Amino acid sequence: MKATITVLSGDGIGPEVTGAAVSLLEVIAARHGHQFTFHEAPFGGAAIDGHGDPFPKETIRRCESADAVLLGAVGGPKWTDPKAAVRPEQGLLRLRKHFELFANLRPVKAYPALAAFAPLRADLLEGVDILFVRELTGGIYFGARQEQGDGATAWDTMEYSVHEVERVAHVAFRAAQKRNHRLTSVDKANVLATSRLWQRTVERMAGDYPDVKLDHMLVDAFAMQVLRTPARYDVVVTENMFGDILTDESAVLAGSLGMLPSASLGKGTFGVYEPIHGSAPDIAGQGIANPTGTILSAAMLLRFSLNLDEEAQNLERAVDMAIAEGARTRDVASTGALALSTSEFTAAVKAHL
């Protein structure tokens, strides 16, 4: 098949990890007789520097004409001036909103081979396989906000409509039907009005999915339980900001933030695929970033936007095998052990394709 993929590498380690994923997608294309065309476009801090805008018109057009977008990360110390009118992260939020990508799938798996490295007891990690479904285009990220001129007060607003909750919850229920038939909806209904609407809506929908066992948890308790008994969870659905925080937390289960991929989807097959981590300014430019999250995001791209499930599985299996045989970037290597560079790790994955 022919497919067009727009690559927004962004800032910091962004170009290092997207470079790794693109090189593997090229191998997949060659092996399976596909024709993938990649177009790079400026995004984030790099685009602010070059175009004064983190999501320039040209980049929007490049994304609109693509089948999918592969994204690295945005942001960095160069663009964190709190008084700046434009920030790299705004580009990311505009991208998600522009394409109404309301469902952000963030799978979290524990790797047996990395269990010794994760800071949790190995027995707790057995069988950990959670799919977070994070609402991505609503809530406090997109509500009105203001920083008062005097600097003495500021406010943000969080708003959800029944429609916004329904469409993301449908994605979560359907995912649970294809997995282990359990769905946990996480909210803060003991305090927030939006959470009460969230809970009521999800609860009402449960009748349409009699084969899914639904429960509700408060976010503070969930944040503790997900590390205490992580294997208990199957699909977890939650609002935008809770999902942001809980998935970084859950990266501990996978051994490193660098391991986790994501797919941001809307109504059609178009999607944006990115690791959940940021631009990691502390290690940028050193060639030591873990590209696993981005490589697994590329696998999700193959599966969800291009409908190439076999190719996606091949890529995922190659990552599993490389890790199982001991390939380790520095973030998941024990102290003193020899760690691979980003490109060495990518070559180890390639060897299994």
Q: Which residue is nearest to ligand IPM (CB)?
A: 89
Residue 188 annotated as catalytic: yes
State the minimum distance, in angstroms, from the CB of residue 112 to Mn ion.
26
Instruction: Give SS3 for 308.
Output: coil
Residue 141 annotated as catalytic: yes
277 binds ligand NAD (CB under 6 A): yes
- CA distance between the termini of the chain: 19
Residue 309 annotated as catalytic: no
Binding residues among 95-124 for ligand NAD as defined by CB under 6 A: none
* 282 interface partner picked from ligand NAD, ligand IPM, Mn ion, none, CB below 5 to 8 A per type: ligand NAD
Binding residues among 284-303 for ligand NAD as defined by CB under 6 A: 289-290, 293
* Signed CA dihedral, 229, 230, 236, 242: sign only: positive
Q: Which residue is nearest to Mn ion (CB)?
A: 244
Joined together, the tokens standing for residue 33 give 């007789």
Give dist(CA 28, CA 103) in Å, integer.
Answer: 27
138 binds ligand NAD (CB under 6 A): no
344 binds ligand IPM (CB under 6 A): no
300 binds ligand IPM (CB under 6 A): no
283 binds ligand NAD (CB under 6 A): yes
Residue 215 annotated as catalytic: no
Give dist(CA 34, CA 25) in Å, integer.
Answer: 10
State the minimum distance, in angstroms, from the CB of residue 92 to Mn ion.
10
CB contact at 8 A, 28 and 18? no
Which residue is it, tokens 């409509």? 161
Nearest to 144 by CA among 163, 131, 157: 157
* Signed CA dihedral, 55, 56, 61, 62: sign only: negative
331 binds ligand IPM (CB under 6 A): no
Joined together, the tokens standing for residue 17 give 């990890």
The residues that touch Mn ion, with contacts defined as CB under 5 A, are 244
Catalytic residue among 2, 215, 220, 267: 220
Give dist(CA 99, CA 91) in Å, integer.
Answer: 13
Residue 2 annotated as catalytic: no
Give dist(CA 80, CA 231) in Å, integer.
Answer: 38
Question: Between the CA of residue 2 and those of 38, 80, 296, what are the distances in Å?
Answer: 11, 39, 21
State the minimum distance, in angstroms, from the CB of residue 277 to ligand NAD.
3
Binding residues among 156-195 for ligand NAD as defined by CB under 6 A: none
40 binds ligand NAD (CB under 6 A): no
Q: For the window 89-108, what string marks contact with ligand IPM as x by the rule CB under 6 A?
A: x--x----------------
* 59-65 CB contacts, 8 Å cutoff, 24+ apart: 59/6, 59/8, 60/98, 62/6, 63/6, 63/8, 63/95, 63/98, 63/99, 63/272, 65/4, 65/6
Q: Which helix (H) or strand (E) holds 9?
A: strand 2-10
Catalytic residue among 67, 188, 273, 331: 188
Query: How many residues bind to ligand IPM according to rule CB under 6 A?
Result: 5
Joined together, the tokens standing for residue 76 give 């960095």
Nearest CB to Mn ion, comparing residues 140 and 353 = 140
Strand pairing category for 145-147 and 154-156: antiparallel
Nearest CB to Mn ion, comparing residues 73 and 197 = 73
CB contact at 8 A, 214 and 206? yes
244 binds ligand IPM (CB under 6 A): yes
92 binds ligand NAD (CB under 6 A): yes
276 binds ligand IPM (CB under 6 A): yes
Catalytic residue among 11, 109, 111, 141: 141
Nearest CB to ligand NAD, comparing residues 189 and 323 = 323
**What does the binding site for ligand IPM look like in residue numbers (CB under 6 A)?**
75, 89, 92, 244, 276
Q: Active-site residue numbers? A: 141, 188, 220, 244, 248
Q: Which residues bind ligand NAD (CB under 6 A)?
A: 13, 17, 73-76, 89, 92, 257-258, 274, 277-283, 289-290, 293, 331
